Structure 1
Amino acid sequence: MHQPTTQARPSIYYPYQVFQPWLASQHPAQERKKVVIVGSGPAGMVTALELARHGVPSVVLSAELQFSQGSRAIVFTRRSLEILQQVGVADRMVAGGLPWRFGNSFYRNQLCFRMEAPHDADDRFGPLLNVQQQFMEEYLHDACAANPLIDFRWGNKVVKVEQKDGYASATVDTPEGEYQLDADWLVDASGGRSQIRDNMKLWMEGSSYEGFFVIADIKVDLPLPTERLAYFDPEWNPGNTILMHREPHSIWRVDYQLPEGETPEQALHPESLKARIDAQLAMIGFPGIEWEMDWSSVYSARTLTLTDYVHGNVIFTGDAAHLLPIFGVRGANTGFQDAQSLGWHLAYTIKGLASPQLLANYSAERVGAAREIIEESGKSVRFMTPPSAGFKLLRNAVLSLSLSQAFVRPLYHWRTSRPHEYTHSMLNSRGDDNALFTDGPAHGAPPRNIRLGSNDFLLDHLGGGFDLLYFTDAAAIPESLQQVVAAARARGVALKVIAVGAAQPVAGADHTLADADGHLRQRYGMRANGGAYLLRPDQHVCARWLTLDAVRLQAALNAALPQ
């Protein structure tokens, strides 16, 4: 019988709430569900919210009775905030978070590189934002609890999953015992230690690295800006690496690499933690400053992925599908992209708007994204934690040269997480004008945000289905295009038409965005009237045209929703 702790987790800064368990005896008999999501972390809750945006109900199962312990994921990218804007929690993230855009790297306590993340006036969100994971989970949970399509169940632990004829059956353990829960689709978002994945004997490809890092959240007042700090080969930890981030509520994250031969158990001993953190604070100019420990843990870097995320009626997402190192803030940020992609692929499959090929495309695209991240993050891991004496010699040579040679410094840029571009997706149109464009987001890329007013941006008007951006200053959308749009809608496809360029409302468009100075058209590479972009429900581009007609639009919709 599953008995999750009812003791609120200790924290200096976060007031943990213990929720009541969901018990089968207090609810009607369980009919088969459309979707059951195992895991209530970032990937699981965003998947549920994305499904709900497309009208698909789901059940979310959390084995625990409270949010996760410790800050865990703390750095969120601009693209993650754009995804969270779609599910209604970005404003709370920004209100409670600390924005930043500069990263400083030190070699033997000398500044050797200062990174500046790109940002311009067209961006609603800054490039990076620090918020502890408990707060992010609280915001997502509040959005789930407010959505009638999401059935959130605390204290429900999945102990067994069986594949049946066309559905999955889960055995769920609770404080009063087990019950059966069947689902057309079961999504495993239970994290890196997924028992479902292990029980299905699904193995990941990739690498694991030997080095260990301590994560320590400490409360301390440091008069330093919100910038990433990376220290290579410091005096108190020779040959190793330390990272520091400011978090909200006067919390600082300190990550430091363990000396060779030291075990995680030894590293987490209070005397060891105190000695290392005191040494780090002294090195940066604050000897003897008082601080208080909130949470600590140990992790190692792994770059692993399943080769397929869809197995029968079980789908994997987030850390259950792949394990990525934290360097470059890839964990939760990649999970958000997984969840946004899975949400629409699964919803359109359930609705019968596309064949099972659509879910195969989810797997192909996100496995491709994971492999790209693994290739890049592997370079970061080898730089942060050199796996051999040769790598360490090369790393230290680069760091030493960077003190005086500017051309060397970009060689160890930390390759921050960025949204994957589905350049070779099967959903991209083969008959459009993608190759003829000289600017704008290409096949598979996410959209470029554009400032339309003081608090009005292009992405505020996109999402919820397919978006057709039609560039024109005419009074109406051509009748032939309107007929294709009407036919798609008649079969259940959510398709919004946004006219760009005209000063007055355009007939046949759901919304008109004036573009008097031509800035939006310029950023999207439009040379004349009659061009267009077709964006998928996850906002990635699947077709673009310098001139659009009904035949080409229909062909693009057919490609994006394979039958």
Structure 2
Amino acid sequence: MRPEGRDEHDSLYFTYPHFDAPGPDAPRGMEVPVAIVGAGPVGMVAALELARHGQRCLLIDAKSSFNDGSRAICIARASYHILDRIGALDPFLSKSLPWTTGRSFFRGRQILEFEMPDGPDDRFRPMYNLQQQYIEQYLWDAVARTPLIETRWQTRLDGIDTRAGGPTLGLTDPHGTYAQPARWVLAADGARSAIRRMLGLRLKGENYEGRYVIADIRMTHDYPTIRRALFDPACRPGGTVLIHRQPDNIWRIDYQLAPGESAEEATREDNVRASVAGVLDEIGETGAWELEWWSVYSANTLALDDYRAGPVFFIGDSAHIVPIFGVRGLNNGLADAQNIGWKLALVLRGEAGEGLLDSYTPERRGATLDVFANASKSARFMTPPSFGWSLMRDAALSLALRHPWAGELANPRQMAPYRYADSPLTAPPVTDGDGRAGPLPGPLPGAMIPDARLDDGFLSQRMGPVFTLLSFGPAPDISHPLLTCLSLPPHSAWDAPEGSTYLIRPDLHVAAHWTRPDPRAILDHMTRILDHS
């Protein structure tokens, strides 16, 4: 929503582009390898991942511009590695605001200051703030310069038929309606997914009572880029307020609605202005400000039972909806896009069997359930669902005024990327065989690799385009068309025994670890991943 007199794309700081529909003579109806429905951040990352591996795709969106409002603003370190892999990184680094610190307050007194893990071996900071308009603009710039991606704006999905052969989409643009066949479809069409509805699928899970108004304002304010959480502040008794700095002097203020408070009333412009003024008074900010945009949000943990329906794969909010606490919504969706992107690309290239695609749901739904487990705890703390939860939450916060350990309960961060421990692509952890309990030091199979500073940059910059075989010591004598071999001396960031060899996937997750690498064992595991059996 925008202030009275401004339309949905009339921003104080961002100029929205306008995208024309395909012309009347544009080719329509020729089969495409992959059709992606939804040109938001998740859909564009999927397209760029496919293109990175040399595969064509069609990107479809009913809109004529980007999504309105700042929406998702927190991008995690792991997502910056994705942006790097797809060739879209530079503008993100130039514009976004990195941060490492969070502060929590209870009734006006600070109870916690936390630092997210960060060190000299990390190429990127733990978190960056950037409005979604810029996220979409920078991804679009990368899409527009990629000839393998065809984009059709102002093109609405009216139906999908998956009954015979490959899927066929029914599409409508200003020049008419037509059938669009594809080999595969990626549903990146958001929380209200039309594809999900057309296929008779529904999200399942838990709806929380907590509702928030999210409001962006423009003001000059010298507080650093630190996430602030205010519990039971005077401006919203019993509620929670979150405050984030964004580029261009834009500040995001999220404030919880009280039980029984009407969302319709709360989102009236005069009420939003009054609520924002109350928050600013709470933090001692007395300068001038302008209202930019606002919306309302509910905390839910919802997901499909299966992220695949035949030739259709669901990515991002079409597959799952997670609470904002822990900032895993957008970041989870980008990981979905990368995960299915490289797998589909290898299948389309004839370098992997379709069995590889069976790993998508267990990996990415597993990641969603892990988010749910952490976010549910945070959601109950941030938005207590009952009087009893509220009583316990406030008791813990009161303890935090005197005991620092209790303040950690107010820390919702979930920083580590999900480990694909139970994936069919992941080998079991290696032990030393001498009765030692547990795996050897170093990253476990399934985990995302730690980065490491090298003499000429960072380890993540040395990874091959598809799979990488990383050896700490002499590399085994092995050759495979999808494999880049890399040999390094032991590095403290990995804590891996000398002689260790790791097979690393295109998404920088460890597939397998050997202490005595045998070329046959490595090739056998590659075959297992690529499903050439």
Question: TM-score category by the smaller chain?
Answer: over 0.9
The answer to whether residue 437 in structure 2 is matched with residue 449 in structure 1 is no
Q: Which amino acid aligns with 1:446?
A: M
Q: Write the distance in 1 (CA, Å) between the matches of 2:429 and 2:138.
A: 42
Aligned to 2:175: 176
1:478-505 residue CA offsets vs partner (Å, 9 max, x unmatched): 5xx33xx2xx32xxxx21111223xxxx
Aligned to 1:554: 523
| 8 Å Cα contact 1:431-1:552 kept in structure 2 | no
1:63-114 residue CA offsets vs partner (Å, 9 max, x unmatched): 1111111111111111111111111122211110111111110000110111
| 8 Å Cα contact 2:323-2:375 kept in structure 1 | yes
The answer to whether residue 528 in structure 2 is matched with residue 528 in structure 1 is no
| 8 Å Cα contact 1:8-1:16 kept in structure 2 | no
Q: Write the distance in 1 (CA, Å) between the matches of 2:444 and 2:135.
A: 31
| 8 Å Cα contact 2:28-2:178 kept in structure 1 | no
Aligned to 1:13, the other structure's residue is in SS state coil
1:377-420 residue CA offsets vs partner (Å, 9 max, x unmatched): 01111111100000000000000000111121222320334311
The answer to whether residue 332 in structure 2 is matched with residue 340 in structure 1 is no
1:498-537 residue CA offsets vs partner (Å, 9 max, x unmatched): 1223xxxxxxxxxxxxxxxx4x2x43344334x3110111
The answer to whether residue 198 in structure 2 is matched with residue 228 in structure 1 is no
The Cα shift of 1:354 comes to 2.9
The Cα shift of 1:22 comes to 1.7
Aligned to 1:380, the other structure's residue is in SS state helix
Q: Write the distance in 2 (CA, Å) between the matches of 1:417 and 1:66.
A: 32
Aligned to 1:327: 325
Number of residue pairs aligned between Structure 1 and Structure 2: 522
Q: Which amino acid aligns with 2:524?
A: A
Distance 1:463 1:266, change over 3 A: farther
Gaps of 5+ in 2: 1-6
| 8 Å Cα contact 2:451-2:493 kept in structure 1 | no
| 8 Å Cα contact 1:169-1:180 kept in structure 2 | yes
- TM-score norm. by structure 2 comes to 0.95
RMSD value over aligned CA atoms?
A: 1.7
| 8 Å Cα contact 1:328-1:377 kept in structure 2 | yes
Aligned to 1:545: 514
Q: Write the distance in 2 (CA, Å) between the matches of 1:354 and 1:434.
A: 32
Q: Write the distance in 2 (CA, Å) between the matches of 1:303 and 1:463.
A: 36
Aligned to 2:184, the other structure's residue is in SS state strand
Q: Write the distance in 2 (CA, Å) between the matches of 1:306 and 1:213.
A: 24
Percent of paired sites with the same residue: 40
Aligned to 1:447, the other structure's residue is in SS state coil
Aligned to 1:495: 483
The Cα shift of 1:430 comes to 4.9
| 8 Å Cα contact 1:433-1:544 kept in structure 2 | no
Aligned to 2:94: 95
The Cα shift of 1:360 comes to 1.4
| 8 Å Cα contact 1:98-1:130 kept in structure 2 | yes
1:151-172 residue CA offsets vs partner (Å, 9 max, x unmatched): 1111111121111323111111
Taking the TM superposition and a 5 Å limit, the aligned residue runs for 1:47-62 are: 47-62=46-61
1:13-49 residue CA offsets vs partner (Å, 9 max, x unmatched): 00111111124x3223431110000001111011011
Q: Which amino acid aligns with 1:554?
A: L
Aligned to 2:338, the other structure's residue is in SS state helix
Aligned to 1:35, the other structure's residue is in SS state strand
1:107-163 residue CA offsets vs partner (Å, 9 max, x unmatched): 001101111111000011111111111111111111111111111111111121111
Q: Which amino acid aligns with 1:94?
A: L
1:429-474 residue CA offsets vs partner (Å, 9 max, x unmatched): 3596698753221110111101113x6100011142011112335x
Q: Which amino acid aligns with 1:85?
A: D
- TM-score norm. by structure 1 comes to 0.90
Q: Write the distance in 2 (CA, Å) between the matches of 1:37 and 1:434.
A: 46
| 8 Å Cα contact 1:86-1:463 kept in structure 2 | no
Paired residue for 2:441, among 439, 442, 445?
A: 439
Distance 1:150 1:79, change over 3 A: same
Gaps of 5+ in 1: 1-6, 502-517
Distance 1:352 1:456, change over 3 A: same
The answer to whether residue 397 in structure 2 is matched with residue 399 in structure 1 is yes
Aligned to 1:218, the other structure's residue is in SS state strand
Aligned to 1:243, the other structure's residue is in SS state strand
| 8 Å Cα contact 1:208-1:302 kept in structure 2 | yes
Q: Write the distance in 2 (CA, Å) between the matches of 1:535 and 1:358.
A: 16
Deviates more, 1:421-430 or 1:40-49: 421-430
Q: Write the distance in 1 (CA, Å) between the matches of 2:416 and 2:37.
A: 26
Q: Write the distance in 1 (CA, Å) between the matches of 2:432 and 2:84.
A: 28
Q: Which amino acid aligns with 1:532?
A: T
Deviates more, 1:14-23 or 1:377-386: 14-23
Q: Write the distance in 1 (CA, Å) between the matches of 2:395 and 2:452.
A: 42
Aligned to 2:324, the other structure's residue is in SS state coil
Q: Which amino acid aligns with 1:399?
A: L
Aligned to 2:20: 20
Distance 1:431 1:130, change over 3 A: closer
Aligned to 1:111: 110
Aligned to 1:186, the other structure's residue is in SS state strand
